[in-house]
Structures are given as C-alpha cells and as structure tokens.
Amino acid sequence: MKWMIPNQHGAWSMLILPFVLGGMVGGWTWAHVSFAIAWLFVYMGTFFLFQYIKQRKKSRDLLRTVMMYLIIAIVAIVPVFLVEWRLIWFAVAMIPFGLVNAYFAKIKDERNVWNDASAVTSFCIGGMASYYLGARVLDETMIWVFVLPYLYFFGSIFFVKTMIREKKSTIYRNLSWGYHILLIIVFIVLGYPLLVLAYAPSLIRAIWFYGKKVPIMKIGIVEIANSVFVLTCLATYLV
C-alpha cells in the first residue's frame, strides 16, 4: 500500500474546525485522542475510497490504502465507543451523507454544490460527536456547534466556486455575496456582535478576491487562516 494524504485544503479545515470546536466547548477528554486518530483516518480512507469509485481502471494499490486507513480508523474508534457507546448514533447519522458523496464520485460530479453540502454536513456531525464525548449531554449548545461551522463552510462553497470553477458566473457571484451579506444582517438583527465579527472576514474576502487571479494555493491558505479566526470567535462565543 501507499501512504497518501488528501491535498484538499478546504476539506482539512472542515475536518479540523468542527472537531476542535466541539472539544473546546464540550470539554476535552483522553478519549478525544483516539477519536481524533479515528476521525483523521476515516476522512482519508473515505476520500481515497471515492477516488477509487470513480476510477475506470481500478487500482489495487489505492484499494489497499483505503482498507488500511479504514482498519486503523476502526481500531482507533473502538476505545471511544467503549467510553461512550452512544457516539455510534452520530456515525449512523453520517452514513446517508457518505452515500451521497459516493454517488457524486461515481458519476464524476464531485464539484456539485449538493455534494459539497453533504460533505459539510458530515464534518459538522463529527463536531457534534466531539462535543458530546466531552459534555455527555444533548442540548442547545450542541446544536450551535453544528450550525455555526455549517454556516461558515456553506458560504465557503460559494466563494471557492467563484474563484476556481465558476469565475465568470454572475449567479455564483450573487449567491456568494448575497449569502454572506444576509448572514451578517441576520446576526446584527439578532444582536450577536461576536458572530458578526466571526463571519465578517468571509464577506470581505468574497468581495475583495472576486474577479482577481489568485493562485489555488493562496486561496487555500486564506481559507485556513480564516478558519482559525472563525474557530477562535465561535469558541469564545460558545464557551
């Protein structure tokens, strides 16, 4: 097998931010260490599984990598389930969205908005699981742990499309700008100044970068930096 790492910068932010937010708000435990290992290898295993699914000529090396990553994930998650078996329901909740991603991989339409939205949903469910592992309670805060990162990443879907795949699309430009403006207005009306601050840079970068030739690597770096800022604000708001 080959040890491979996904090169999707945005996906890494989606993998890390909800998980870390959930742990920061719900409280860290030693079980989070094993959970983090499982979470990492589930992501890498499923990423390359989707790559395998869309291949015409199936690669045995790639399949071996997928199997090894998923085996590591299973071994790592067992101690977590022994600590809190109810986390299995969060895993079950992710399955339909994983199937959606598999479908879009099969038809080679992974850039579809619904595929992106489905992936974001899975990552944010993982954030809820991370919160529950520490807090051991189903409450309103856990809902916020899901919703707030989702709102950020859903806007990122539109932004990235205006910068890479849909540079000349006025529809995606309007969706990107309109979504971020509406988000800011809603939080102003509701009286959440810290959330306004959290999402304001997303609006600024959506407008500032539009129409400019920005290298993909730079876009990825901007998204990672923005994710760190958003995480800091959301954690401050929820803790």
The pLDDT, as a whole number, for residue 1 is 64
Q: What percent of the chain has pLDDT over 70?
A: 100
Q: What is the pLDDT of residues 78-126, one digit of tens each?
A: 999 999 999 999 999 999 999 999 999 999 998 899 999 999 999 999 9
CA Rg value for the chain: 18
Q: Are 118 and 103 contacting, i.e. CB atoms less than 8 angstroms apart? A: no
Q: SS3 breakdown of the chain: % helix, strand, coil, rounded to 5?
A: 80, 0, 20
- What value does the mean pLDDT take over residues 205-232? 90
The pLDDT, as a whole number, for residue 113 is 93
The pLDDT, as a whole number, for residue 220 is 84
Q: Is the pLDDT of residue 218 over 90?
A: no
Q: Is the pLDDT of residue 136 over 90?
A: yes
Q: Is the pLDDT of residue 182 over 90?
A: yes
The pLDDT, as a whole number, for residue 194 is 96
- What value does the mean pLDDT take over residues 63-78? 96
Binning pLDDT at 50, 70 and 90, where does residue 206 land? very high
- What value does the mean pLDDT take over residues 169-185? 95
The per-residue b/e assignment along 212-226, b for 16 or more CB within 10 angstroms, e otherwise, is eeeeeeebbebbbeb
Task: Please state the pTM of the whole predicted model.
Answer: 0.94
Q: Are 123 and 15 contacting, i.e. CB atoms less than 8 angstroms apart? A: yes
The pLDDT, as a whole number, for residue 36 is 98
The pLDDT, as a whole number, for residue 58 is 78
Angstrom distance (rounded) from CA 218 to CA 86 = 40
CA terminus-to-terminus distance, the chain: 42
Length of the chain: 239
Q: What percent of the chain has pLDDT over 90?
A: 82
Higher pLDDT, 39 or 1: 39
Binning pLDDT at 50, 70 and 90, where does residue 56 land? confident
Residue 195 CB partners (closer than 8 Å, separation 6+): 148, 187, 233, 234, 237
Q: Is the pLDDT of residue 9 over 80?
A: no
The pLDDT, as a whole number, for residue 60 is 83
Count of beta carbons in the 10 Å neighbourhood of residue 184: 18
Residue 131 CB partners (closer than 8 Å, separation 6+): 21, 22, 23, 25, 26, 141, 142, 145
Q: Are 15 and 161 contacting, i.e. CB atoms less than 8 angstroms apart? A: no
Q: Are 141 and 131 contacting, i.e. CB atoms less than 8 angstroms apart? A: yes
